[in-house]
Structure 1
Amino acid sequence: MSLEKKEQFHDHSSHDHGHNASFTGELMHHLPYAIFSVALAMIILTLIDYSSVSQSVGHAARKASCSGYHMLFHSFHFLHILFAATGTVITFSRFSNNFLKTVIVGTLSPAFFCMLSDVVLPYAAGRLLGVDMELHICFHRELQNVLPFLGIGFINGLILSRHHSSMISIFSLGSHVSHILISSLASLFYMVSHGFDNWYPQMGMVFLFLVIAIVIPCTLSDVLVPMYWAGVKPGSHDKE
């Protein structure tokens, strides 16, 4: 490949990065991940619901099923925090070596956006659809469970960000895809376990609300917030 062609290729990559650094560009880039993740999460929930209905007998069985969804929500919510912290740190570390900022962004950003995606927005969606939802904030009630996942996710992000630069983009993409799928499951399990157990008659609106509830917080947490605090400008690839 000639030097001229190499320069053209580099310029094209820089242009793409600058385009994707915009909020709208990142949303459009990550929207398909959210759509497929929510769809897969709904398939999983449908299969679980079908299995539990076929085996259920009376109110006690239904209560046990709700308790199971409550457990599933917590498991996926805590895992969501882990993956979100990892993804945030990886993205931030691609553009900045400022450790203090890494700590601040790598902990506060996933903590806030995971709560928004898994709890607040599903709660609001249920309310808008006329369901008497229960608001359950794990960061308030179960901090002893949240902090280990947040801390390990942060450390994991630091370790992965020390790998060769050619691998960081792969780690970042893999973390983001896992992040969105786990967030989809956490959001759905939250809705079902905190009041919206009869979700399937309104599954179209549930699907729509969850896509919105997932793509915006996850894109902000994984991409835009860490890039913003790293001081990234359109077309910039250099660390501070």
Structure 2
Amino acid sequence: MLKRIAQELRRHAPFTALGALTGIIIMVIIVLGNVPPQISQTAFYTLHPLHVVLSALVTTAMYVRYRKAKIWAVILIGWTGSVGIATLSDAIIPYLSGVLLHVPMELEVPFIEISKMPVIGIETWIVVNGAALLGIGLGYWKQTTKIPHSGHVLVSTWASLFYLTSFGTADWIHLLPFVFLFLFLAVWIPCCTSDIVYPLLFVKEEMRASLPDNDY
């Protein structure tokens, strides 16, 4: 399994770096365009549930494809592998990144947040957990992984970026090299872990060994 993890991290590094680069471009536009934090918050609370849907879809699809499990187990794996990892990637790591850079940051944990979402006015925890259930249902129904996984990486990158610009105040232009590094790390390990490694931890060893390299 450790060899598999190393292989996947190596394979996904270039695409993750490209995603982080797109995040840097977006941040430059936000800063130079003097985009208000409210716009960033709306973007974050749009992208984060989408991230949860894609993550739950891929995690569930990988698990169901290689193990015939009871529905409660499918929901448990899909929920923890999506909501848990998405919270880490989109909120916790960006928050800690801001703290390390001495940027004043607010900590938001969307899946337990009771404040209402921008635009739609529904409590955040309902939307995020509902997104997880939607992704689980889609992954259970159709075990597709390749396109959702790629989308997951990009959406996670942008969600992490908008967390920084939503809940942190700083001269971001001077911090761009560090932002690139933190965006890369926020997505690279968590996304590969949730989509690929995490669901396979609950699959029999012989099934993991038979998993083709291009299965996702």
Determine the structure 2 residue equivalent to 1:47.
29
Determine the structure 2 residue equivalent to 1:108.
80
Contact kept in structure 1, 2:98 and 2:105, CA below 8 Å: yes
Instruction: Pick one of 174, 177, 193 that aligns with 1:201.
Output: 174
Q: Give unmatched runs, 5+ long, in structure 2.
A: 114-123
Instruction: Pick one of 28, 39, 46 that aligns with 1:68.
Output: 39
Q: Which runs of 4+ in 1 moved over 2 A?
A: 44-50, 231-238
Determine the structure 1 residue equivalent to 2:163.
190
Larger Rg: 1
Is 2:103 the partner of 1:121? no
Contact kept in structure 1, 2:91 and 2:163, CA below 8 Å: yes
SS at match of 1:229: coil
**What is the Cα deviation at residue 49 of structure 1?**
3.5
Please tell me the residue identity of whatever aligns with 1:172.
Answer: T
- Equivalence map 1:80-99=2 (5 Å): 80-99=51-70
Give the whole-Å Cα distance in 2 for the aligned partners of 1:217 and 1:81: 12
TM-score (norm 2): 0.86
Give the whole-Å Cα distance in 1 for the aligned partners of 2:23 and 2:139: 25
More helix per residue: 1 or 2?
A: 1
RMSD: 1.9
Instruction: Pick one of 153, 166, 172 that aligns with 1:180.
Output: 153
Contact kept in structure 2, 1:66 and 1:193, CA below 8 Å: yes
Please tell me the residue identity of whatever aligns with 1:143.
Answer: W
Of residues 189-198 and 122-131 in structure 1, the stretch that sits farther from structure 2 once superposed is 189-198
Percentage identity across paired residues of the two chains: 28
Deviations 1:9-38 (A, max 9, x none): xxxxxxxxx89x622111111112211111
Aligned pair count reads 200
Contact kept in structure 2, 1:191 and 1:197, CA below 8 Å: no
Deviations 1:103-130 (A, max 9, x none): 2111111110000000000100111011
Contact kept in structure 1, 2:31 and 2:172, CA below 8 Å: no
TM-score (norm 1): 0.78
**What is the Cα deviation at residue 182 of structure 1?**
0.2
Is 2:132 the partner of 1:150? yes
SS at match of 2:12: helix
Please tell me the residue identity of whatever aligns with 1:36.
Answer: L
Q: Residue 232 and residue 198 in structure 1: after superposition, are their counterparts in 2 closer, same or farther (change >3 A)?
A: farther
Is 2:211 the partner of 1:229? no
Give the whole-Å Cα distance in 2 for the aligned partners of 1:216 and 1:44: 22
Q: Give unmatched runs, 5+ long, in structure 1.
A: 1-17, 54-61, 162-170
Give the whole-Å Cα distance in 2 for the aligned partners of 1:208 and 1:97: 39
Contact kept in structure 1, 2:24 and 2:179, CA below 8 Å: no
Contact kept in structure 2, 1:126 and 1:196, CA below 8 Å: no
Please tell me the residue identity of whatever aligns with 1:67.
Answer: Q
**What is the Cα deviation at residue 197 of structure 1?**
4.6
Contact kept in structure 2, 1:70 and 1:190, CA below 8 Å: yes
